[in-house]
Amino acid sequence: MKFFTIAMKNFKEIKRDKKGLIFILLFPMMLMIVSGLFISSEQGSRPHDLAVINYDQGSTLDNGDAVNYSNSLTQNLKDAKYQNTNTHLFNVIITNESNANQLLNNGKIDAELIIPENYSNAMVAMTDNIAQTTTDPNSSATTPNITSSLIIRGDVQTNNFQITQTILTGVINDYQDTLVTQTQTDTLGNNIAEPNDYVNSVVEPNNSSNNFNFLIPAVLIFSTLLIAIMVAIGFTRDEESGGLSRLKLSNIRKFDLIFGGLTSWTLIVIVQILVILVAAIFVGWQVNILSLPIVLLVGVLGGISSIFLGIIIAAFTSNWKQATGLGIILIIPITFLAVFQLPETAIFKIGGYNFHIFDLLPWTHVFNALQTIISGGVLTSISYEVLGAIILTLILLMVSWGAYSRKA
């Protein structure tokens, strides 16, 4: 149980290093809060990206003229501008529902507007009813009450959708009110029917939380990689202070040195991840309680990989300054590769699949698994990513063992 003694020694040293604790705990927490508040409040006088899916079949007036009110509504959305500016309210994309859903899930648009096939029929029924009641208010005859529901779809957890759907609903209501006023004026009457009796808007939530799906895994990956620097500093300081030499004289095993460090730093990783998740909830992440243990376990796997990376850094540096410099040089590109996964980094091909540099990093698979879990994916869908992360972490273990054996 000597490794446990080593772990307790390391843990006490970590607690005494107040600056180091601030670096690995408070800095990730502040990064999560600032980034979360930024994406939650991203708004302003800019066009909101809106996909319009038009199923409307058009309609025919009593005089035989064909009309399609969905086309005029869409044009109205395209033309709408912020008050006293030339900035459009919406950047309208006309597309099909499948493509719109994909754009929404990828965070490329703020909302979808689905116009049903009976929209024009409902609008014609509305205007006919207005004309009839305006001409003869006492008439008991009424036109068919055809109800049509416009669907506004988006991620209700994001501020962008909340703002977009509020503006969109207002523009749609203004359009229908204007149509009512025009009809009333044309028939020289004073009675105005309520357009919402015929046409209403329904907000249909989309459960993908796109911003947090990317932000939380990215912050977790970057933060756990910071642990590598602190681990390398801790190991090199042991060497500088003569602690490693004294441990050698006590016939301590390499296993105890490495796994003692692993045990103490894994506890720090757990605390770090919990702090980040609490910060994410604070800034608006709608957490699924059942997924939290899985997020924690997968995040810890990434942290263990970072601990072994720190031991490797310590093996190739002779003091804490060198360890810090080499750690920074390594974790920045590793974070970038693991999070953004550029397709241009392909290095070889097996069985029709292009393998990339980032495929060789355990943090890439941890990032992908975290994204899947946070977006509500089933556990079976992350089995490949978790297995890949475990295998690559074991490889890091063997490399760190071999590299640090030179010193230990």
Domain coordinates of the chain in residue numbers? 2-40+211-404, 48-208
Share of the chain above pLDDT 70, in %: 76
Give, for 153, the enclosing helix (H) or strand (E). Answer: strand 148-154
pLDDT band for 189, please (50, 70, 90 cuts).
Answer: very low
What pLDDT, on the 0 to 100 scale, is given for residue 283? 82
Residue 386 has pLDDT above 90, yes or no: yes
Residue 243 has pLDDT above 50, yes or no: yes
Q: Between 27 and 299, whose confidence is greater?
A: 299
In whole angstroms, what is the distance from residue 290 CA to residue 300 CA? Answer: 17
In whole angstroms, what is the distance from residue 150 CA to residue 169 CA? Answer: 10
Report the half-sphere exposure of 190 (CA within 13 A, side-chain side).
1
In whole angstroms, what is the distance from residue 263 CA to residue 270 CA? Answer: 11
Phi, psi of 317 (to 5 degrees): -130, 155
Residue 275, judged by CB atoms within 10 A of its CB (0-12, 13-18, 19+), counts as middle
Residue 274 has pLDDT above 90, yes or no: yes
In whole angstroms, what is the distance from residue 5 CA to residue 71 CA? Answer: 74
Phi-psi label, residue 242: left if phi above 0, alpha if psi -120 to 50, beta otherwise: left
Give, for 104, the enclosing helix (H) or strand (E). Answer: helix 97-105
CB 137 within 8 A of CB 127: no
pLDDT band for 59, please (50, 70, 90 cuts).
Answer: confident
pLDDT band for 240, please (50, 70, 90 cuts).
Answer: low
What pLDDT, on the 0 to 100 scale, is given for residue 163? 79
Mean pLDDT, the chain, whole residue set: 80
What pLDDT, on the 0 to 100 scale, is given for residue 82? 79
Query: Looking at residues 5-26, what average pLDDT do you find?
Result: 72
Which among 346, 268, 250, 252 is positioned nearest to 304, based on CA atoms?
268
CB 91 within 8 A of CB 28: no
Report CA-CA distances (Å) from 178 to 62, 116, 133, 289: 21, 21, 17, 47
In whole angstroms, what is the distance from residue 6 CA to residue 345 CA? Answer: 40
In whole angstroms, what is the distance from residue 3 CA to residue 265 CA? Answer: 13
Token readout for 382 is 């992350």
DSSP reduced 3-state for 116 = coil
Q: Between 392 and 84, whose confidence is greater?
A: 392
Residue 33 has pLDDT above 90, yes or no: no
Phi, psi of 162 (to 5 degrees): -60, -45
In whole angstroms, what is the distance from residue 204 CA to residue 78 CA? Answer: 22
Per residue in 322-353, pLDDT (tens digit) is 999 999 999 999 999 999 888 777 777 766 66
Radius of gyration of the chain (CA): 30
pLDDT band for 137, please (50, 70, 90 cuts).
Answer: low
In this predicted structure, which of 34-43, 226-235, 268-277, 346-355 has the lowest mean pLDDT? 34-43
DSSP reduced 3-state for 275 = helix
Per residue in 291-326, pLDDT (tens digit) is 899 999 999 999 999 999 999 999 899 888 999 999
Phi, psi of 153 (to 5 degrees): -115, 140
This prediction has a pTM of 0.60
What pLDDT, on the 0 to 100 scale, is given for residue 7? 61
Token readout for 125 is 């029924």
CB 70 within 8 A of CB 115: yes
DSSP reduced 3-state for 258 = helix
DSSP reduced 3-state for 53 = strand
Q: Write the CB contacts of 182 (distance below 8 Å, at least 6 apart in sequence).
A: none
Q: Between 371 and 286, whose confidence is greater?
A: 371
Give, for 371, the enclosing helix (H) or strand (E). Answer: helix 362-374
In whole angstroms, what is the distance from residue 372 CA to residue 151 CA? Answer: 27
pLDDT band for 187, please (50, 70, 90 cuts).
Answer: low
Fold classified for 48-208: abc type-2 transporter like fold (3.40.1710)
Token readout for 76 is 């109205």
Query: Looking at residues 25-46, what average pLDDT do you find?
Result: 72
Query: Looking at residues 368-392, what average pLDDT do you find?
Result: 86
DSSP reduced 3-state for 378 = coil
Query: Looking at residues 71-87, what average pLDDT do you find?
Result: 84
What type of residue is 298? Answer: V
Query: Looking at residues 149-160, what average pLDDT do you find?
Result: 81
Which among 264, 297, 277 is positioned nearest to 369, based on CA atoms?
297
Per residue in 15-24, pLDDT (tens digit) is 777 777 777 8
In whole angstroms, what is the distance from residue 6 CA to residue 367 CA? Answer: 31
What pLDDT, on the 0 to 100 scale, is given for residue 43? 45
Q: Between 399 and 355, whose confidence is greater?
A: 399
What pLDDT, on the 0 to 100 scale, is given for residue 131? 67
